Chains A and B, each alone.
Chain A
Amino acid sequence: MLIRQPRPGDSAQIRPSEITPESVFLDRRRLLQAALAAGVAGLGGAWSEVASADVAPLEYKRNEKYSLTETPNKYEDITGYNNYYEFGVDKSAPAANSGRFKPAPWSVAVSGECENKGTFTLEDVLKGHPLEERVYRLRCVEAWSMIIPWIGVPLADILKRYKPTSKAKYVAFKTVMRPSEMPGQRYDVLEWPYVEGLRIDEAMNPLAILAVGVYGKSLPNQNGAPLRLITPWKYGFKGIKSIVEIRFTERQPPTSWNISAPHEYGFYANVNPNVDHPRWSQARERRIGHGLFDSRVPTLMFNGYEREVASLYQGMDLKKFY
């Protein structure tokens, strides 16, 4: 399905008559909220399906300091070209197959080396954290990239609330396991559920966020609704989606792609033009949304976030810890 969505670069071409009147817009929002409430209240499957299939506008502030000035990719590219193997391996599969997925109600289990263990609703997890927009570059390990305006909360702010102990050297994440709603989980393409992890100092870096939205609206299912990780200096597969578990650990946790092909995907997975994937070069990347005859562009160390994160890896051999 191709619905053309507004984007920053479009605004000059939109005639005033084409803009949806605010009253209609607000009515739609009210309808969505009603649907969401009905779904949460368990009033029936049909209602919650309406709610989950659509996205709702969010209130947020742009964080200029951590935002690129480049024009973001089109909404339809960000939501139509995805790697989310739980919904199928083709780039178009997540958008096509995620309609039945229910991102609400949602809860996250926090466990391991921390003081405030427990299971928390998504509302609990986010309570008191203002949402901010961050325009980040996303670099896929497959050597393509996009510019994406995420909406989220700094990961560090959320993690600190659970009071990790001095033993918490790493933090591990887990994606929900729902083969009935995620058809890709019915095949062992990867070991399910998907798991990821960060060293605690990486997790506490201000660039790392937990995203709940994109382009001013809540995350569509194919982008990892309702809660996903974004670490822009790492390859996209580190950005685990639909998170249901956060666990503080003393030892380095296993990660899905590393389990699948350890010689190709490491724990760190930092974007690095000098360390090639065994089967392809990482020196250059294709910008999604540019023309058919557009050249690749050079890949930047740590995806251009060298200043913010290079100190995390001082003295480490990045060829060995890829």
Chain B
Amino acid sequence: MPSTNVVRRVFKPALFLLCLLPLASLVWRAFELGGTNLGANPVEKIQDTLGQWGLRLLIITLAVTPLRDWFNAAWLIQLRRMLGVYAFFYILLHFLTWLILDQDLYWAGILPDIADRPFITIGFLALLLLIPLAVTSTNGMMRRLGRRWKTLHRLIYLIVLLGIWHYYWQVKADVREPLIYLAITLVLLGWRVWKVRRRLLPSHRGADRPELREET
């Protein structure tokens, strides 16, 4: 297992750069560097790419705890916050792209869209729910909220499902990719449910390792 120092000095900066790659690639192509470009519909490309990576990062964030359990790699938890904050970052950019580049801040269209079009309503709701999670992601906030922090951050399950629903509803006919995301998410959620149930069953209680009890 890598030391806390290695995680902090090597893994975290590497992950930081890795998570920046999708955005860097968009900026690179937007300026048509090296003969690249964003295709015929750059606004759509930017919006889709940002949304897709936001959703993927949300699911990756959700996968951290199961991965830690399966591979007995406690250090993974130290990467979870960065993944979650990046997910919020991409989803916020996705929303701003829609607002500014796609809708040109045309409020007469934007407000009815948010109110009347279920897939936009759902996406917007997911973004709103992410805001308190992003705001309380600091160490200070974690301390201050104590046990309530964990309760609050369970919202992530709902947010991921809303995000997948938003994506599923947006595609015209080929729902394979959103369904793959849903399958992965259900496995990750199922694992948690199974773990909690096992802990609650009296026959397993004694066998359970107490140090794992606190994390869900």
Residues of A within 8 A of B (CB): 2, 73, 76-77, 80-81, 85, 89, 91-92, 142, 144, 187, 189-190, 260-261, 279-281, 283-284, 286, 288-289, 292-293, 295-296
Smallest Cβ distance from A60 to chain B, in angstroms?
25
CB-defined contacts of A190 to chain B, threshold 8 Å = 173
B66 at the interface (CB under 8 A from A): no
Which of A81, A142, A281, A295 is in CB contact (< 8 Å) with B113? A281
Given A91-B39, A288-B41, 4 other A-B residues pairs in contact with their CB atoms under 8 A: A76-B40, A80-B40, A187-B174, A281-B112
Which of B40, B104, B106, B172 is in CB contact (< 8 Å) with A142? B172
Contact A92 B39 (CB under 8 A): yes
Contact B101 A293 (CB under 8 A): yes
B75 at the interface (CB under 8 A from A): no
Smallest Cβ distance from A1 to chain B, in angstroms?
11
Which residue from chain A places its CB closest to the CB of B112 in the assembled complex? Answer: A281
Contact B41 A81 (CB under 8 A): yes
Which residue from chain A places its CB closest to the CB of B169 in the assembled complex? Answer: A279
Smallest Cβ distance from A188 to chain B, in angstroms?
10
Smallest Cβ distance from B30 to chain A, in angstroms?
7
Q: How far is the CA of A42 from the CA of B48 in the complex (A)?
A: 44
Which of A89, A281, A296 is in CB contact (< 8 Å) with B104? A296
Q: How far is the CA of A279 from the CA of B112 in the complex (A)?
A: 12
Which of A2, A77, A80 is in CB contact (< 8 Å) with B35? A2
A and B contact pairs by CB, cutoff 8 A, 11 listed: A80-B39, A91-B39, A189-B174, A286-B102, A292-B30, A292-B46, A292-B101, A293-B101, A295-B106, A296-B102, A296-B106
B137 at the interface (CB under 8 A from A): no
Contact A292 B109 (CB under 8 A): no
Q: How far is the CA of A261 from the CA of B172 in the complex (A)?
A: 9
Contact B109 A85 (CB under 8 A): no
Q: How far is the CA of A80 from the CA of B30 in the complex (A)?
A: 17
Contact A286 B41 (CB under 8 A): yes
CB-defined contacts of B170 to chain A, threshold 8 Å = 279
Which of B106, B169, B173, B176 is in CB contact (< 8 Å) with A260? B173
Contact B173 A289 (CB under 8 A): no
CB-defined contacts of A144 to chain B, threshold 8 Å = 41, 44
CB-defined contacts of B43 to chain A, threshold 8 Å = 286, 292
Smallest Cβ distance from A181 to chain B, in angstroms?
20
Which residue from chain A places its CB closest to the CB of B36 in the assembled complex? Answer: A2
CB-defined contacts of A73 to chain B, threshold 8 Å = 40
Which residue from chain A places its CB closest to the CB of B35 in the assembled complex? Answer: A2
Smallest Cβ distance from B99 to chain A, in angstroms?
13
B49 at the interface (CB under 8 A from A): no
CB-defined contacts of B41 to chain A, threshold 8 Å = 81, 91, 144, 286, 288
Smallest Cβ distance from B25 to chain A, in angstroms?
15
Which of B35, B102, B117, B173 is in CB contact (< 8 Å) with A85? B173
CB-defined contacts of B118 to chain A, threshold 8 Å = 279
Contact B40 A81 (CB under 8 A): yes
Q: How far is the CA of A260 from the CA of B171 in the complex (A)?
A: 13
Give the one of A73, A260, A261, A281 with max B CB within 10 A: A281
Kindly identify, within residues 91 to 135 of chain B, every residue whose CB is under 8 Å from any CB belonging to chain A. Answer: 101-104, 106, 109, 112-113, 117-119
Q: How far is the CA of A180 from the CA of B5 in the complex (A)?
A: 55
Smallest Cβ distance from A292 to chain B, in angstroms?
5
Smallest Cβ distance from B119 to chain A, in angstroms?
6
Which of A91, A279, A286, A293 is in CB contact (< 8 Å) with B119? A279
B136 at the interface (CB under 8 A from A): no
CB-defined contacts of B172 to chain A, threshold 8 Å = 89, 142
Smallest Cβ distance from B41 to chain A, in angstroms?
6
Give the one of B102, B103, B174 with max A CB within 10 A: B174
